Every structure is written in C-alpha cells, then in structure tokens.
Structure 1
Amino acid sequence: MLNRYPRWKYIVLFTVTFISLLYALPNLYGEDPAIQITGKKGSFADQQSVDLIKNTMNDHSIKYKLISMKNGVVTVCFDNIDIQLLAKDIITKRLGEKYITALNLVPSMPRWLNWISARPMKLGFDLRGGVQFLIELDINNLIKKNQNHTINNLRDDLRKHNMPYNTIYMNKSSKTEINFKNFHDVSNALVYLRSHYNNLLLKNSNNTIIVSLTPSYINKLRENAIQQNIYILRNRINQIGISESSVQRQGAEYIIINIPGIQDTAHAKELIGTTATLELRLVNTNINPILVSKDIIPFDSEIKYMSDGKPVVLHKDTILTGDHITHSNSSIDEYGNPEVNITLDSVGGDIMSLFTKHNIGKFIATLFIEYKDSGLKDSKGHSILLKNEAIINIANIKSMVGSKFSISGIKNLNAARQLSILLRAGTLVTPIHIIEERIVGPSMGQQNIIKGFQACLCGLIACTIFMLLCYKIFGIISICALLINLIIIIGVTSILPGITLTMSGIAGIVLTLAVSIDANILINERIKEELYIGYSIQQAIRRGYQKALPSIIDSNITTLIKAVILYSLGTSSIKGFAIMTIIGIMTSMFTAVIGTRTIINLIYVNRETNRLSI
C-alpha cells in the first residue's frame, strides 16, 4: 500500500505522545503556598522540629495540606496565601531565631507523578513572581583592599632593595604615603617604583611619595569584580538549587538578581548576600602570652580569636585565600568529626606545596572571614557591613601539602556542609549592598500566565476555524496534530533541566504553533494540486507529502538558524523566546509531517473512497 507506515512508526508516535502527556500533567495542578523551615548557622531541622510545628498548627487551629522533611528542611503546604502568612508568623515566634522560616511555592500534584520524577515547567520571574534585588558592589572596599596589598608589597620591596624610609601608611583619602629622610632617598625610590609598578600613580611632595591607583587599573578592578561576582552569585544560587534565577549586570557597578518563587526577602538575602572567605596564615608562636594579653605584638602580626574567644597571634601575610579553591565537600574523618575537603587550582597548589615544604613543624591557622549586615545605614543609605573573623582550625604542618587538604574543627556536619557549599560556589570579590528589593507576588505572575494561555487559546481557535473552513476533515487532522505538538512542547519543557518558561517563551510557543499550521497548509494544498492534476487519492496523498516536505524543511531550518543566533547573542528574555522556538520547531516537524500522515494513513489505508474531504 502507498500510505501504510511500518508498525514501529505508529508505536514511536503514540509512545512519544503518551510520555509527553504524562510529563505535561503536573502543569495542571499548579502550586501550593508553603513554608520552608531550615537551620541557621549550622543547625538543622529534625523530627522534634516537625512534631513542634504540628503541635503549633493544631494549637492555633491552622489547617495544612502536607508537612514533610527532606535533607533537614521542613516543608508545610497550605490551601491559600492567607493561611500561609498567618502560619509563618506563628511558627517564626515559636521556633525562635535558631531557624529560618521562609515563604515559598511548591508543586501540588499526586504522589504517583513523583514516582516517575515528573515536575511542572519551571516558571520564570515574570510568571511565577518572586524577589528582585538591585545590588551595588562596594568598589571602595575593593580599592582599600588592593591598597593594603600594595602597601605590603611596597614595604617588602623597599626593604629588599635597601631603600630606607621612615613610615608607610594609608591616609584618609585611601592613598598610600611613604615618608623618607631626604630628597636623595625619595629620588632613588621614585626611579625604582616607576620602573616596576605600572598600575600606580606616584607624586613627590616634601620628601613624601603619594601613591594611588591609576584610573585604568581601577576600571579594570571594577570590571573584573562585576564579572566575577556575577559568576559567583549565579553559581551560589544554583548550588542552593534555584536554577530558574537570573543574575545580570546593570550599569557600571550594579547587578540585578531575579529569584522566582521566593516570597521571603530575608531568606533570599541570606542566600545571596553572604560575603565570606578563608585565609590561611602562619601562627606566630614566638610571642610571650603576657605581651599578647597587653596587645603588645610585632607590626607584622595581629591578634585573631578562636570561636571560643581564645586569642591567637597570626602573621599578617596571607599564605592562601579562598580565591584559589576550585572544589570543596563535607565529610567525616576517621575520628567521626566533620571536616571540609578542599581542592585548589594549580597556582594555589604550587603556593601550598612550596610553603608547607619550607615550614614543616610550624602551625598554620584557617581564618574564616564573613561580612554581615549591622542593621545600620551609612550616609548613602547603604547597609553598614561588619567584618566578623574567627579561627576555625589550627594545624601542625607535618609534611608537604599539595592541592588537596582538609579543614577540621567545625562544630557539626551541617555547618561543614554549609561551609563547603559557600566555598564551592565561590567567594565574592568585594562585599555587596542590596540597595533595592522588590517582591512580585504570585498573583501578578498568575495574570501573566492567564494572558499567555489566552493568547495560545485565541491562536488555536483562529487556526481551528480557518482549517475547518478551508480543509474540512484534513483541517481537523491538522488541529489534532497541533494539539499533540502543544502537549509535546509542554512535556519536553517539563522534562529538560535548565529550561525556564517566561512570557517571551510563551511568545515562542505561539510562533511555533503558527509555523506548524503553515506546514500543514503546504501539505494540504499540495494534495489538492495532485488531485486536480488527476492522480488517485492514495497517490495524491503520497505525492502531496513528498513535494511539500522540501519546502517545510527549508522554512524550518531558516527559522531554526535565526533562533540559534538569537539564543547565542541575546539576553535572558530573548534566550527564553529562542529556546522555546527551537523546541517548537523540532516538535512541529515531527507532528506536522509524521503526526498528520499517521492519522491520515489510519483513516484511509483500508478505505475505498472516491473523494477526499479537503
């Protein structure tokens, strides 16, 4: 027979349609308002916490749909947002400051869909709502940090080359001043420094060299800080599991972050705003404890404190920072204590190997540095950050250490896990200020979803009316293929990780539906032409599909090339449109050609007819 498919093609079509329908089902159930309770500062939720939450709900007659605990996170689902907000206030007061109680939205669907790992489409910020932050980088802090590093380098360099000076310090204008005894010393120092420090501006004033960073170097620092902080913030959010977020640059010193699904700004701030790093420093064991108690220490050392408040004298020179960490994970050592395993990059590994090789028998300290919001504002309205430091580990260097080592002395496994995530995600180059925050509620996102659904529905109705009037039964077959195409698009978008549906993505879906109908119009018109020429019904169907196929392939490949270019060069909203267009083109080729041909074959393969309803 001319129009009979082998059995495996029918099986493939029905299998693809059934699987797509199965994985598209979770999108019908929507999301439930929920509260997520997580531990703060190393603590974690347990069964006792779950029982306490249940008792609290019962005591206040608050109805909840579901309460569950996974990986130390308790999730409580409710019927509506009003109950969710009421429950959050009550639970927060009951649990105290030991836990973070955050508002969230979780998928609502039958358990059997969880068994096949079915999930609804990931919705973007404009459809789901969430939290938006406008962040400003503390460039002044970065410049001061760089100036301190410059002072250390200048001090060491001048001593190394026997160039005497009186004092070297940073003035109130964040510029370095080097005072000399006479003009001869100033001249020698200027000649040397100008030949070795291209990033510095050097001015002579009354036997004093005033050192500042060049504008080009400051711009380079700013650009590197912006790019690296964007990468680190995106990586940090992804490590936590919020893969639908967007992190983009805005202006010269700003970053804008959209986190969909989160309604609690305090929780979101804690997720992204932590500025923390590690520094490895050598312990100065040559200081008398009595002098330490009186704060009498050498200029090259400073006093830091253990988590229990015990003072330790450390050399100011940093051996290694968290910038060289490429990977970290938490585990349990042979004594049953939590530890963090760290892997360094090649540069960090070389520094660590060389240092430990020449300092066997000495003690090395791991200093944890974190910037926290003090609750106060400066003159610009920015949050004033407090620098908190604590020594979390002191180890004896017994042998040469390479690019892999472990840090112990952490209070529990959950604290070790949080530290490893923070280090693995990366250290912010400079502290950040959240200067604006905006909450987009799920109701606004729901309105966008309704508008997008209405756009798709109007397009389907218009296509249906047109196809019925022009092509009758073949028009109905085309609309069936169009619906199958829509189901496959939704199923594929739900299955594939990393794809987020936005309003621009909905526009891409509407476009691909139009492209799919266009292919069916070409096929139907070709079949009508073959019938007009005089071919039999079976031959006309076969030749119509054969002659229309090259035109369909050409038009779809052209659109596909455009979509790929848009995806590679466009911003996030353009990328959303492009990726949905690419998926839609792939599926429309499948349904417009194979799908409709399969249905037509099933109808006409064993049927005697003298006329087609087309």
Structure 2
Amino acid sequence: MRKTTAKPKHTWQILVIIITVVILGLNAIPTLYGNNNALLVSGVNSTQPLPSIQQLRDVMLQQNIQVKQIINGDADSKIVIDGDDEALVHAQQQLKSELGDDYQVRLGNQSAAPKWLQELGMSPIKLGLDLSGGVLFVLEVDTDRADQERLANAKDETLQIIHDHGLRGMSVKMAGTENNLVSKADVTTKNPVAQTETEGKLDLHFLSHQAAKVKAVVTDLQQRLPGITYSKTGERSATLAFSEQSITTFHHEIMAQALTTLRGRIEELGITEAVTQRQGQSRIRIELPGVKDPEQAKRIIGATASLDFYEMANSGTMGAKSFTDEDGRHLRVAPKPIFTGSNIENANSGRDEMGIALVNLTLDGIGGKKMSEFSRDNIGNPMVTIFSEYHKNSADEMIKNSRVISVATIQSQLGNRFSITGLDSPQAASDLALLLRAGSLDAPITIVQQRTIQASLGKENVNNGIMALAIGLGITLVFMGLWYRKLGLIANTSLVLNLVCLLGLMALLPNVVLTLPGIAGLVLTVGMAVDTNVLIFERIKEERKRGRSNFLAIETGYKEAFATILDANVTTMITALILLSIGYGPVKGFAMTLSLGILTSMFTGVFVAHVLTYIVKPQIAVKQKELKA
C-alpha cells in the first residue's frame, strides 16, 4: 500500500498552524505556574542606591521569612517570598522598619514560571478583581464644583480686563450672592428658585457713561475664555455666563482629564492590570486586582491635588488672593498664577545639601517660558507656591483647602528646572512628586464606594471556575469521540488547540484581564468550537447519504458549512463587541473572553480541523477501498 502525504499546496497552512500553536502555547504555559508574592523596594529619591541583595536577604532571614529569589532592577529590587498574603504583609512591615524613611516597600507579585520563559517576556494571564482579590473604588467627579471654579476664574479675568481698561466704577460679582464669600449651599437654603435662575452667571454693573465700553471688555473676555455669552439686563447691568454647549464640552473635558490623571496615578503605583473606566455621567470605576495595601492606593487615587505658583500682589492689585503660611504671615498674591501643575512635565523627590526633603520639577515648553520671563523680571522678589486639595468636612460638604508650601526669593533667572523645598517628610515629597507626575485634577473627586475582595475568595473562584471548565471540556471530548469516532478525534484535537490558543492569546495581549465571568466565556467558547465541528461533520454525513465519496463529502461539507459558521460567529461577535464597548467590570471581562474565543474557535474549528481532515482523509479512503475489495 502506497504511503500518502499531504499535498504541497497545504504545506504553508501546516507551517502557519505549527508556528501559531507554538507561540501561543508558550505564552499559555506561565498561567499554569501562577504568581508568587513579592515585595518591591525602591528609594524615595530616584538617585538613592538600592540595598544590596545580601542586606535584603539578611533582613528576611532574621524574621524567618523564606526567600525564593531577589531580583535587582534599575528602579527597584524585587524580593520573591515563599508564603501567603499574611506573611507578605509581615515582611513588608519588617523591611520598612529596617530600611527607614529613605525607601519605599510596596506589595506585588512575580511570575512562578521557569526563568527561561520569563526571559522571553512571557507572563501568566492577568487576573481580574474577583479572581485575584484586590480593591474596587467608585469615584464621584464633582462637576458642579468645577463649574464654580471655572466661573470664579472668569470673574478674575473680567476684573483684570476692567483694571487694564481703567474703568473705575465697573464691577463684577457672582450672580445670586450678596458677596463673593457666599457659598452655593447658602444660596440654595435662602432661595432655591432664585438660585436656579441665577446659578452659573456673573453680574456686571457699570456706570451710564461706560455702556459703550462694555462691549470692548466683553470682546477681550471672549477672546480669553471662548464660550462666554453676554446678556444686557438693564440700563447699567448685564450678565455673563457660559453657553450650554460650552458647559457640556467642559464636563466632557473634565471627565476625560480625570480618567487620564487617575490612570497615570495607577501606573505610578505600579499596578498594570487595573481597570479604569467611566460609569454613568459623573462616576469613575477603578478595579485594582492584586492590591494588598488599599490604604496606599486610596491615599494616591483619592487625592485631588493641584499646585500653583504665584507672584506677590502689590497694594493696587485687584482681586488679590490671601493666604496664611505656617508662620502665621498673611500673604497677598496675584489673582492669576504664573503657571500651574498642568505645566509640570516631570517631578522627582530628593534631598538638598542639608538632607531636607524636596521635589525637583521639570516644566514643559510653555511653563519653562513663563518661568524664564517671570524670573528674569522679578529677581529679588518672592514667588509663592500654593498646594490645594479638596476634602469633606463633618457636614459632608466639599471644602477646598489651600496652603503655602514655599515662599522663595528668586535669586537669578530660572528655566524649566527648579525645586520645591520645605516639605514635611520624604514620604510627603514622594507622594507630591507622584501626584505631579500623574497630573492634577481640576475637579474634586469623592470615593463613594470602596470594596475589598480577599485573595482567598479569589482563589476559591479560580478553583470553581477551573472545575466547571474541566467538567464541560471532559464531557464534550467524550461525546465527540464516541459519536464521530475518527472525525471526533480531529474535533477533540482542534478543541484542545483552541483552548491553548485562547489562553496564550489572553496572556499575550497587554490589556486582557481574566475575570470570573470570563471563565464562563471560556466554557461558552468550548461549546461554540464544538458547534462549529458539529455543523461540518453533520454536513459531511448528509453528503455521504447522497452517495458522494469520502473525498467529495468532506470537501463539500467544509465548503457548504462555512457560510453558516461565519454568520453565526459574526452575529455573536457583534454582540460581544457591544458588551465590550458599553460594559464594565465583569461584563467587560466576559465580552473580552468571548470575542477572543470566537477568533480562536474560527481558526481551530475551520482552518486547523480542515487541514487535519485533509491529512487523515486519504487513510479513510484507502480503508474504504479495502472494505469494498
């Protein structure tokens, strides 16, 4: 009997299958090993030398903590320990006390896969919050407060323009208030109806002979603040307000800026599997899987901090702001800052010659130009640095707290690099540098929900999910093998390859996170992959009943079933993409797994199974000829 081989035209298909399966298979292997607990040690100052490996090992041995591995990197040292989360937290406390304030010790993990796989850049699948444990935050962005701040800035701009034009007797104040110190809550209590009508407006008052000059003031203001509208309300009064379109656009910008800033802060914390997305009109959902120190995350993520640099105001400055420093001195600064935290490009904590904590700043092009021009013209004059943050008082009201952190005399012309001194501690300097690197928030945020999921619960979810997947896969393999015999063997091979490819693809892609509903997606993918083979094999059986040969029945079966398979998978993919775009948390995890599962099941169920059938079918044909003979 002549030995049969695959035709040359299928050689490239076999090579594609081998290369794809090998690459994705290697990426799937680290998931079987999982992760080990680890501690990340880094200096508060970026120039601080890291502790030696022997020093770290000695500290761990003194506390009877078993160390698997210590990896020294460029920015931090990673200590991989043998123990659970309780042992990890204990090790963190010991390291903090031994190393002091000059070093930060953070909780993390390290792949338990063999070293050669790690060197190839392969890591386990990132687990979601419900599988690895961690912290969930839901934040509320206070867009109303942002609107108030924006309107207050518009008032300061208007006062400055009035001063520049020399229009004595013309004034502007917040509408619906007797003076600028009345809060929004006060106005609401006094007259809710009047507050609704006047909210978000500025009252402009002028003398009779100044009516013709108001237009010039408004024109200058609209050039500086696009979106401002002007409405005359009387002979000597008018209102200024932002248009509805401008307010809507501003709210979208505020939410986009908040999302960008929070993602930057999470990256600074070294959390790579976090999920940060908008939830509703003004809320942001943050999932931090694997986080074992929720207080540190809460301190950084929930901070609404900004930094502004002001020149001292003289006696004739209109709209000057007043602050009190730590020594009790009253300082009056210009209404507008020289530049703000948005101009800060980079920030690193450090120490000066006396060992006092400081933050080294690098400004962008615009900020560097403003700083250079201001310092050139103000040598010998002071510059005031104001740090502002929001917090809730005992009445659950959002309060803005601003404090002076530096009053420095300019000694020479400065560029885009300088330092902030006078900080309380290295930790305060490190936190401030982190916030400035990640960006400040224009609108205050409030943590409205915080939930911690223990790692033990996540481990139980993983075990239950794997058990469900194993049972479903086992029953499917047995059924296909008994019902379709040799073709069932092909289906089972493609099914196993499908699961391997899907796990490898999820580990390979950077933003894919496996959640508990995602495991349900894996089980569903198994069923969909089998459905593909069932459609093909049943079509082959129909062709055989019509009297066609095995060769022709198999070719026709794959060809005719493909359109049905494609339609079914495309419609499912559309649904998965919709869930992926509008869903969050568990829903998004399910949609992601389902989407990738459709791609891999199409690859293995049609492409791989077809090639395997083509390789096996000559043997089927020869067997049938022998039976006929």
TM-score (norm. length: structure 2): 0.75
CA distance in 2, matches of 1:537, 1:250: 56
Change in Cα spacing, 1:130 to 1:504, as seen in structure 2 (3 Å) is same
State the distance in 2 between where 1:7 and 1:320 align. 65
Deviation of the 1:531 alpha carbon: 2.5
The residue that corresponds to 1:246 in the other structure is 275
Q: Give distance in 2, aligned partners of 1:276 and 1:211.
A: 32
Once the two structures are superposed, the pairs formed by residues 337-486 of structure 1 within 5 Å of their partners are 341-343=362-364, 361-363=377-379, 369-371=386-388, 378-380=394-396, 387=403, 389-390=405-406, 394=410, 406-409=416-419, 422-423=435-436, 425-486=438-499
2:262 equivalent among 217, 228, 233:
233
Aligned to 1:31: 35
Asked if the contact 2:42–2:50 (Cα under 8 Å) also holds between the matched residues in 1, the reply is no
Q: Is the 8 A contact 2:158 2:172 kept in 1?
A: no
Inter-CA distance 47–152: structure 2 relative to 1 (3 Å threshold): closer
Cα pair 2:309 2:386 within 8 Å, conserved: no
1:118 corresponding residue in structure 2: 122
Aligned to 2:596: 583
CA contact (8 A) 1:369 1:389 kept: yes
After superposition, the Cα gap between the structure-2 partners of 1:579 and 1:601, relative to the gap in structure 1 and judged at 3 Å, is: same
The correspondence for 1:259, drawn from 288, 294, 315, is 288
The 1-side partners of 2:397 and 2:449 are apart by 10
Aligned to 1:334: none
Q: Is the 8 A contact 1:278 1:366 kept in 2?
A: no
Matches within 5 A, 1:63-74: 63-74=66-77
1:470, distance to aligned residue in structure 2 (A): 1.8
Matched, 1:81 2:95: no
Q: Is the 8 A contact 1:38 1:44 kept in 2?
A: no
1:322 correspondence with 2:341: yes
Q: Deviations over 1:71-114 (max 9, x none)?
A: 33233233222321322232333334444433333322221111
Q: Deviations over 1:118-176 (max 9, x none)?
A: 01111222222211223344567545633542442242243325241699762233689
1:170 aligns with 2:186: no
* Bigger mean CA deviation after superposition, 141-150 or 85-94: 141-150
Instruction: Measure the CA separation in 2 of the matches of 1:409 and 1:145.
Output: 28
Deviation for aligned residue 1:56: 2.5
SS class of match (2:67): coil
Question: Measured at CA, do residues 511 and 395 of structure 1 come closer, stay the same or move farther in structure 2, by a change above 3 Å?
Answer: farther
* 1:609 counterpart SS class: helix
Q: Secondary structure at the match of 1:118?
A: coil
Measure, in 1, the Cα distance between the counterparts of 2:548 and 2:144.
80
State the distance in 1 between where 2:18 and 2:578 align: 33
Partners of 1:2 and 1:542 within 8 A in 2: no
Corresponding position of 1:12? 16
Question: Percent identity among equivalent residues?
Answer: 27
Distance of aligned partners of 1:283 and 1:246 in 2 relative to their CA distance in 1, 3 Å threshold = same
CA distance in 1, matches of 2:233, 2:444: 30
Deviation at 1:515, TM superposition (A): 1.8
Number of matched pairs: 582
Over the residues paired in the alignment, what is the CA RMSD in angstroms? Answer: 4.9
Distance in 2 between the 1:111 and 1:66 partners? Answer: 11
For the pair 1:531 / 2:544, whether they are aligned, the reply is yes
Alpha carbons of structure 1 residues 308 and 163: separation in structure 2 relative to 1, 3 Å: closer
**Alignment partner for residue 523 of structure 2, among 510, 534, 547?**
510
Superposed CA offset, 1:399-454 (max 9, x none): xxxxxx7223378x999998886555432113433354322112222222223223
1:21-54 CA-to-partner distances (Å, cap 9, x unmatched) read 21101101112223333444x4676343755543
What is the match of residue 59 of structure 2?
56
CA deviation after TM superposition for structure 1 residue 516, in Å: 1.4
- Consecutive unaligned residues of structure 1, counting only runs of 5 or more, are 288-295, 332-336, 399-404
The code of the aligned residue for 1:91 comes to L
Q: Which amino acid aligns with 1:28?
A: L
Contact 1:282 1:314 in 2 (8 A): yes
Structure 2: any 5+ residue segments left out of the alignment?
174-178, 188-200, 223-227, 350-357
> For 2:599 and 2:334, how far apart are their aligned partners in 1?
62
Distance 2:384 2:501 in 1: 53
Contact 2:155 2:202 in 1 (8 A): no
**2-structure distance, mates of 1:233, 1:406:** 25
Find the counterpart in structure 2 of residue 557 from structure 1. 570
Structure 1 residue 339: deviation in Å? 6.5
Match of 2:623 in 1: 609
Read off the aligned partner of 1:62 and give its amino acid letter: I
Give the secondary structure class of the aligned counterpart of 1:317: coil
CA drift of 1:492 comes to: 1.0
* Structure 2 residue identity aligned to 1:496: L
* Partners of 2:132 and 2:290 within 8 A in 1: yes
Cα contact 1:177–1:209 (8 A) shared by 2: no
- In 1, the alpha carbon distance for the partners of 2:485 and 2:387 equals 70
Which of 275, 296, 301 is 1:272 aligned to? 301
1:221-274 CA-partner distances (Å, limit 9, x unpaired): 666534431232124324554342223445665433211111101221244234
Residue type of the partner of 2:336?
Answer: D
1:501 equivalenced with 2:514 (yes/no): yes
Counterpart residue number, 2:352: none
- Structure-2 separation of matches of 1:584 and 1:253: 33
Secondary structure of 1:170's aligned partner: coil
Aligned to 1:291: none
CA contact (8 A) 2:41 2:77 kept: yes
Q: Secondary structure at the match of 1:409?
A: strand
